[in-house]
Structure 1
Amino acid sequence: MSSRPVRTRFAPSPTGLLHIGGVRTALFSWAHARKHGGTFVLRIEDTDLERSTPESVAAILDGMHWVGLDYDEGPFYQMQRMARYKTVIGQMLDSGHAYYCYCSREELDAMRAEAEARGEKPRYDRRWRPEEGKTLPAVPADVQPVVRFRTPIDGAVTWDDAVKGRIEIGNVELDDLIIARPDGTPTYNFCVVVDDVDMQISHVIRGDDHVNNTPRQIHMYQALGAEVPVFAHLPMIHNDQGQKMSKRRDAVSVVDYDTQGYLPEALLNYLARLGWGHGDDEFFTLEQFVEWFDLKDVSPSPSRFDRDKLLWLNAQHIKAADPARLAERVAAFLADKGVATADGPQLADVCALLKDRSQTLVEMADQAEYFYRPLNPTAEVVEKHLQPEDEERLKLFAEGAAALPQWDAATLSAFIKDFVKQQGVKMPQVGMPLRAKVCGITNTPSVDAVLALIGRDEVLRRLAA
């Protein structure tokens, strides 16, 4: 493990929305920095000019803000560091760690075809690589060269991955990587190394789809005389079919979970459990996660995304949340439904009543609607609970309720019990018609608490309707 001060980074490419795999990578990088009193850096790798968009950058920043993963430095943008990359490329050319390659597209295609015909892995034949005693081809006048990194030919690259253990890849498997295109723009693997060196990144925590990039990057760290960071490659997240999660098949964007009514702490809690664990603990806070987190506890095996488990965790976090905070988000969902809350009960009080019954904030908003406007009961509810005898009983109930000295849950509870006794019926014969008439539905919290929140005037108005 590195003895340097801990500095981690999250480095997404702005080619789409921030997805849950990226959020888990950011979460583990953030937690490792927080656990060790280190620094968490956000870097936007925007050199893919064809696919990178300002909208995607905004989505990444908004997504990081929503989940609450605060970064200490950044965001840094690779496109703003082009001068630095070109300086380092020049230094590599001067030191002999890189060289110009003038192969045309046709020559590279021919190399590939010949290798495939021999049953070999297609690769560049290093014809422009300078070697002692080697005569290079004449420089063509009509080819703009690329710059290639001079990869060692013999030996192997070995590193102790903090998640996967010891990994060794022979240099014979590696090509002389292009680090600058014909127009001079640098390539991904090169930019990553220069950024990590300049930003003094001590731990590179990323998805295991980057394992194949690591040996090439290690060579470049060494060529620059820089300390190689600790690598930790996280396993993939699979969907419930055991397949790698896809943007086309699965709800993978953070925005999706926000609009579906999930709490960010619930999503982070769930993502933390995908590939990491602390005993049998399932429900925990972000503070507990930081306290418990250790890279050695991350599993190298892929994890399977279980939406039912996420939904359960979301319900637990809703139960634990401050009602005033829930109300801020539920108000937006109600506004989307055209429901105004200004003239009704305090939404925080409604959320406090409903939070033990809601798995998502969307579900909570649906349940909260009848506190602000009566719903039309279905024909089935009318048939079962609002027959003429029920309506007559509710008229008598309204007369007694109008005369109550005060309007609160305790007073209403006592009144309802006395009324049921006077009518010689069972509680559901009063409670269910009350819910149907006042709320429009029969599945509500305790009817006395519901009536207390809706308020005397509004309850009596609805009973008289």
Structure 2
Amino acid sequence: MLRFAPSPTGDMHTGNLRAAIFNYILAKQRNEKFLLRIEDTDTARNIEGKDKDIMFLLTLFGMSWDNLVYQSHNFERHRQLAEYLLQKGDAFYCYCTKEFLDKKREIAKENHQAFRYDDAWAELEKDKNPHPVVRLRAPKETMGFHDEIKGDITFAPNEIDSFIILKEDGIPTYNFACAVDDMLYDIDFIVRGEDHVSNTPKQMLIHKYLSYEKSVKFAHLPIILNEEGKKMSKRDNASSVQWLLDCGFLPQAIVNYLVLMGNKTPCEVFTLQDCFTWFDIRKIAKAPARFDIDKLKFLNREHFKRLNEQDLAVLLGYKDSAIGALAKLYLQEASTLNEIREKVDFIFAKKALLLENLQNDTKAESLEILEFKDAIQTLQQTLLAMLKEQDFSKAEFETFKSEAMQKSGLKGKSFFKPLRFLLTGHTHGPELSDLFPILRLYLNDILRN
């Protein structure tokens, strides 16, 4: 079984989503179940409702889970196994206070040494501290594992000290709860971020002391860098899955990009389902991958092209499939749902308001703006008069253009620029001859705004 194990302590970031996608693909490839495990052991930092947000996003991105587990529901089982380890002598009570350990850390820092817990400290403050933690005994031998991406990784005995598995309040630590639950739910392949590499030998040691011998594969995903080549943090907008969605990136494009980055794939544009046939976790690059928003925009346009016109219209908030066809024409210059929606909405917006905004934003001289406004008014009156006389729903653009030019008396730039603004709400964009076969169906609505 494979698992995705997020914490309900904040918004999902792109690294989380990438791990979820890879685990889901592997589960499908291996014909195994996919477990969603909400790791809610950090009771102080848990945020109410974040578990539901996680489930919503997984569903939105096309992933379903076979089992749902809240780690806190297994606290009693965690405590039982900690007690078992205490009885075996593989774990022990530690009475060190925070102040004692802080002082030892300060001494190590002053001596330019790495801080290491010493088992001999365990009972030095037994009289002062009635609430001990439980620590697992450090290994005496080298710990190592094979990573499907990074290769063989080893840890010398002095790199792992006796670590806490139960806090003073009886709540299990991350490593203990994680290792026990992986054992309880028969997890045999763990894919997660490389920040967990140092946790892996600790979790393997827990399994060893619990006499759990099942072979478990590991793959630790390289970190994602921002566009400046630095480790992506919460300050980077693109680190937030919700920010990407709010900007108008399609879930299928985001999935495509997260699988593609730092990976060798047989093609550039694909769906989550396509990955089931060819995805190979061993082809993920060892080096960090840089997040390229322009590449994501390209993929977003490609996935817009794959949408049928009715679905695209609905995404934009319209019912008519012709609006979806119109939207696709704007893919020459728009990359996200927000950008396309603005283009389409401007077509049906009140042109007087758009013209006022244009006048406020433009750097053109006031005389030029006044001439533009006069031309728009003249052309609008001309076109409305033409609509009363005939039906343009089947007219060709050349016929419409010639008649409008003749009746308005406008020519060249003084004609085409106002015409584009009246029909689209913009002063530039796709060729009017390409747009007109669809715009002609809505001329009444467009010109009366």
Q: With structure 2 as the length reference, what TM-score do the two structures score?
A: 0.86
Deviates more, 1:320-329 or 1:20-29: 320-329
SS at match of 1:242: coil
As a proportion of its length, which structure holds more helix?
2
Q: Structure 1 counterpart of 2:436, which letter?
A: D
CA-to-aligned-CA distance 1:64-91 (integer Å, 9 cap, x gap): 23222222211x2112211111111112
SS at match of 2:28: helix
Given the superposition, is the C-alpha separation of residues 440 and 110 from structure 1 closer, same or farther in structure 2, using an over 3 Å criterion?
A: closer
Unaligned runs of 5+ in 2: none
Q: Distance in 2 between matches of 1:124 and 1:421?
A: 86
CA contact (8 A) 2:379 2:418 kept: no
5 Å matches for 1:34-45? 34-45=28-39
Given the superposition, is the C-alpha separation of residues 429 and 115 from structure 1 closer, same or farther in structure 2, using an over 3 Å criterion?
A: closer
Counterpart position of 2:223: 236
Deviates more, 1:54-63 or 1:236-245: 54-63
What displacement does 1:20 show? 0.7
SS at match of 2:285: coil
Q: Distance in 2 between matches of 1:398 and 1:110?
A: 83
Unaligned runs of 5+ in 1: 1-6, 130-135, 332-340
Q: Distance in 2 between matches of 1:434 and 1:110?
A: 76
CA contact (8 A) 1:8 1:41 kept: yes
Deviates more, 1:83-92 or 1:432-441: 432-441
CA-to-aligned-CA distance 1:374-394 (integer Å, 9 cap, x gap): 323345685565655x76666
Q: Distance in 1 between matches of 2:379 and 2:112?
A: 88
Q: What is the aligned counterpart of 1:451 among 428, 439, 443?
A: 439
Q: Distance in 1 between matches of 2:179 and 2:309?
A: 46
Residue 440 of structure 1 pairs with residue 425 of structure 2: yes
Q: Distance in 1 between matches of 2:209 and 2:86?
A: 11
Q: Distance in 2 between matches of 1:460 and 1:244?
A: 51
Q: Distance in 2 between matches of 1:65 and 1:327?
A: 22
Counterpart position of 1:4: none
Residue 180 of structure 1 pairs with residue 166 of structure 2: yes
What displacement does 1:205 show? 0.3
Q: Distance in 2 between matches of 1:64 and 1:391?
A: 51
What displacement does 1:173 show? 1.4
Residue 359 of structure 1 pairs with residue 335 of structure 2: yes
CA contact (8 A) 1:385 1:436 kept: no
Counterpart position of 1:122: 115
Q: Structure 1 counterpart of 2:58, which letter?
A: M
CA contact (8 A) 1:431 1:447 kept: no
SS at match of 1:411: coil
Q: Which runs of 4+ in 1 moved over 6 A?
A: 420-429
Q: What is the aligned counterpart of 2:400 among 411, 416, 421?
A: 416
What displacement does 1:97 show? 1.9
Q: With structure 1 as the length reference, what TM-score do the two structures score?
A: 0.83
Given the superposition, is the C-alpha separation of residues 453 and 277 from structure 1 closer, same or farther in structure 2, using an over 3 Å criterion?
A: farther
Q: Structure 2 counterpart of 1:81, which letter?
A: N
Residue 274 of structure 1 pairs with residue 274 of structure 2: no
Q: Distance in 2 between matches of 1:267 and 1:202?
A: 27
Q: Distance in 2 between matches of 1:142 and 1:286?
A: 53
Given the superposition, is the C-alpha separation of residues 300 and 143 from structure 1 closer, same or farther in structure 2, using an over 3 Å criterion?
A: same
What displacement does 1:126 show? 0.9
5 Å matches for 1:28-427? 28-74=22-68, 76-116=69-109, 118-127=111-120, 140=127, 142-153=129-140, 155-226=141-212, 227-279=214-266, 281-331=267-317, 346-357=319-330, 358-376=334-352, 377=355, 378-379=358-359, 387=374, 398-404=384-390, 406-408=391-393, 410-413=394-397, 415-416=399-400, 419=403
CA contact (8 A) 1:262 1:314 kept: yes
